[in-house]
Amino acid sequence: MAEKIVTAEDLANKMREVSVAEFFEKNRHLLGYENTTKSLLTIVKEAVDNSLDATNEAGILPDIKVTLRELSPDKFKIIVEDNGPGIVEEKISLAFGKLLYGSKFHRLRQSRGTQGIGISGAILYSQLTTGKPVRIMSSTGKAIHSVDLLIDVLKNAPIAASKKEERNPDKWHGTKIEMEAEGRYMEGRQSIPEFLKQTAIANPYAKIVYDGPNGKVTFDRAVKELPIQPKEIKPHPYGVELGILRRMATNTHARNLVGFLTTEFSRVGRSSADQIIRLAKVENKNPKDLTHDETGRLHKAIQMVKLVSPPTDCLSPMGEKIIEEGLKKELEAEFFVAVTRPPAVYRGNPFQVEVGLAYGGKLPTDSTAQLIRFANRVPLLYHQSDCATSEATIDTDWRRYDFQQSSGQLPQGPLVILIHFASVYVPYTSEGKQAIADYPEIIKEIKLALQEAGRKLSIYVRQKNKRRDAQLRSELFEKYIPELAESLEKLTDVKRQKIIEDLEKIIKKGVKGEKEAGS
Ligand SMILES: Nc1ncnc2c1ncn2[C@@H]1O[C@H](COP(=O)(O)OP(=O)(O)OP(=O)(O)O)[C@@H](O)[C@H]1O
Ligand SMILES: [Mg+2]
């Protein structure tokens, strides 16, 4: 029988709005829940990121406790508790039970989270794999509020299954999340302990206690001060796209264009604003009344006027000292070097790249270098090959720094490469936040940082290789001393034993001399 032909009306009857929660329930791989091992890590990561953001913003030295209990081989209980500022009662349900709801998206400030989807995505996954609500306990120092939360997927809205208020005699403040989820536990390179260890390297002011299936690990505070608070900034006009400029102009409270340009953007002063307006031929216009053409001209004019680069006090790099110390604490290598580049800009967003190298010692010699990646101090453990950091590392010519490297590969040898990308907006390749997009400006900065660190390392490697060659030469020479002494004895009448002693002295002196020259 012939298939019934579908009409536009049939299709129209099937059309309906899709809620964002429904979308991510179907596409949970986009949020990092494509397999059971990664899912457990993603839950811990989202909760720990939030705890670090919240404590940082509130100026509190973070104390974070992560507990993982195996309920059955494929089911776990995950508890993450922090000593942050807590969340006010009215916002608890929305912050945790509504996707794309958060405090960080509409601002330009360096933070771990931005999208408002991280922890609600974790709750969605928990609900999907267990059907149970998630318990949130939070206090701002007054009463303690507990909410058992589910997400109404079709509406993308929280459902509070139960609510409780308790007294708080100890004035505890912070947030505790408790959920069950399907998962598989493994330790190794892409595991929860590795994530926490790398988090401790990049956030040495945090104390993190991990109580996992294989016992308790404590990452103690290595420094007692929080990093300087990154400032919030306005967007820099060079990076603003036409559509966004249009929306900003429509929604502005400014009554004229000079006011609009000088208050809603960074680095636009009165005279730059006048210049832009004149170039765009939009004098005396109200920003709300700009036509499509006029906005286009304004957008072009902005790019033509010379403006100072965006302010960089919105960034919070780790700094060379912290990187070196962090690597020393966690790796048994013999040489460490770190480089913090000056800030740069991509699409109007300030960013800064840092690189740390650890070399030699007990690092494996027969494999490719290990890459440790961070974005705003968050370790990235997955999707390495899609990340700008790995593209830039592969693109760097490591043979210049005395490493072997096959084309399209990371360098070979006892080397760990740490790369930190800090920005007010990290251009992740997907909502799962595991890889940084390869904007040319970003690739260029990473390569410059790697080259600078590579040059410093190569001075050390060359000296080491020179010492090793001298040692090999002298060992070879020593092997022939008896034969040489025998021939010389015949030729010169000097006793063989005396010749051997003299030759050994010469070799020792030679090796010592090369060592001194090399050190
Ligand atoms: N431990 C916490 N303490 C205080 N506030 C929190 C905590 N966890 C979450 N929040 C609040 O809940 C909001 C939503 O968190 P969520 O992880 O979903 O989004 P986000 O962190 O803003 O961005 P991202 O999707 O990139 O993680 C946050 O913006 C923050 O305001
Ligand atoms: Mg988050």
- What CATH number corresponds to the domain at position 84? 3.30.565.10
- The verdict on 351 and 248 lying in the same domain is no
Domain residues for the domain of 466 are 461-518
- The verdict on 89 and 204 lying in the same domain is yes
The DSSP call for residue 310 is P
- pLDDT value of position 2: 66
Question: 392 in a domain, yes or no?
Answer: yes
By the 8 A CB rule, do 101 and 151 touch? no
Question: 512 in a domain, yes or no?
Answer: yes
Question: 241 in a domain, yes or no?
Answer: yes
Mutate to test the pocket of ligand 1, among 24, 65, 119, 140 (most ligand atoms within 8 A of CB): 119
Integer-rounded Cα Rg, in Å, for the chain is 30
Distance 265 CA to ligand 2 centre (A): 26
Q: Whose CA is nearest to atom 8 of ligand 1?
A: 50
Q: Based on the structure, what is the number of domains in the chain?
A: 4
CB 117 less than 6 A from any atom of ligand 1:
yes
- The verdict on 70 and 188 lying in the same domain is yes
Q: Whose CA is nearest to atom 21 of ligand 1?
A: 113
Question: 13 in a domain, yes or no?
Answer: no
- The verdict on 444 and 341 lying in the same domain is yes
- The verdict on 439 and 397 lying in the same domain is yes
- The verdict on 160 and 25 lying in the same domain is yes
How far from the centroid of its chain's Cα atoms is residue 129's Cα?
28
- The verdict on 429 and 477 lying in the same domain is no
Crossing angle for the helix pair 242-251 and 257-264, to the nearest 10 degrees: 110
Ligand 1 closest atom vs CA 84: 3
Distance 204 CA to ligand 2 centre (A): 20
Q: CA 231, 232, 234 angle in degrees (round to 5)?
A: 135
- pLDDT value of position 407: 93
By the 8 A CB rule, do 428 and 49 touch? no
**Last residue within a domain, chosen from 453, 478, 500:** 453
- The verdict on 215 and 135 lying in the same domain is yes
- pLDDT value of position 303: 94
**Last residue within a domain, chosen from 184, 219, 254:** 219
Q: Whose CA is nearest to atom 11 of ligand 1?
A: 95
Q: The CATH number of the domain where 246 resides is what?
A: 1.10.8.50
Beta bridge partners of 67: 79, 211
Question: 389 in a domain, yes or no?
Answer: yes
Ligand 1 closest atom vs CA 177: 1
Q: Which regions in the chain score pLDDT beneath 70?
A: 1-2, 510-519
Q: Quick one: tokens of 91?
A: 């916002």
Q: Tell me how far apart the terminal alpha carbons of the chain are, to the nearest angstrom.
A: 88
The DSSP call for residue 374 is E
Distance 94 CA to ligand 2 centre (A): 13
Phi, psi (degrees; rounded to nearest 5) at 198: -65, -35
Q: The CATH number of the domain where 442 resides is what?
A: 3.30.230.10
**Last residue within a domain, chosen from 428, 453, 478:** 453
31-67 in b/e form (b: 16+ CB < 10 A) is bbbeebbbbbbbbbbbbbbbbbbbbbbbebebbbbbb
Kindly list the distances between the CA atom of residue 136 and the CA atoms of 98, 176, 406, 505, 519, in Å, as whole numbers in the listed order. Answer: 14, 6, 50, 75, 58
- The verdict on 80 and 128 lying in the same domain is yes
Question: 1 in a domain, yes or no?
Answer: no
- The verdict on 102 and 211 lying in the same domain is yes
Distance 124 CA to ligand 1 centre (A): 14
- Nearest-CA neighbor of 430 among 38, 118, 120, 26? 118
- Nearest-CA neighbor of 460 among 397, 516, 399, 402? 402
Question: 86 in a domain, yes or no?
Answer: yes
* Dihedral in degrees, nearest 10, Cα atoms 441, 442, 447, 449: 110
Three-state DSSP state, 120? helix
- The verdict on 123 and 60 lying in the same domain is yes
- pLDDT value of position 519: 47
CA separation for the pair 203, 187 (Å, rounded): 21
- The verdict on 163 and 263 lying in the same domain is no
Distinct helix (H) and strand (E) counts, the chain: 14, 14
Neighbours of 456 (CB within 10 A): 15
Q: CA 382, 383, 389 angle in degrees (round to 5)?
A: 105
Q: Quick one: tokens of 431?
A: 């909502």
Distance 95 CA to ligand 1 centre (A): 7
Q: Whose CA is nearest to atom 9 of ligand 1?
A: 50
Three-state DSSP state, 489? helix
Three-state DSSP state, 445? helix
The DSSP call for residue 377 is T
By the 8 A CB rule, do 180 and 132 touch? yes
Mutate to test the pocket of ligand 1, among 48, 50, 80 (most ligand atoms within 8 A of CB): 50
Question: 310 in a domain, yes or no?
Answer: no
Distance 314 CA to ligand 1 centre (A): 19
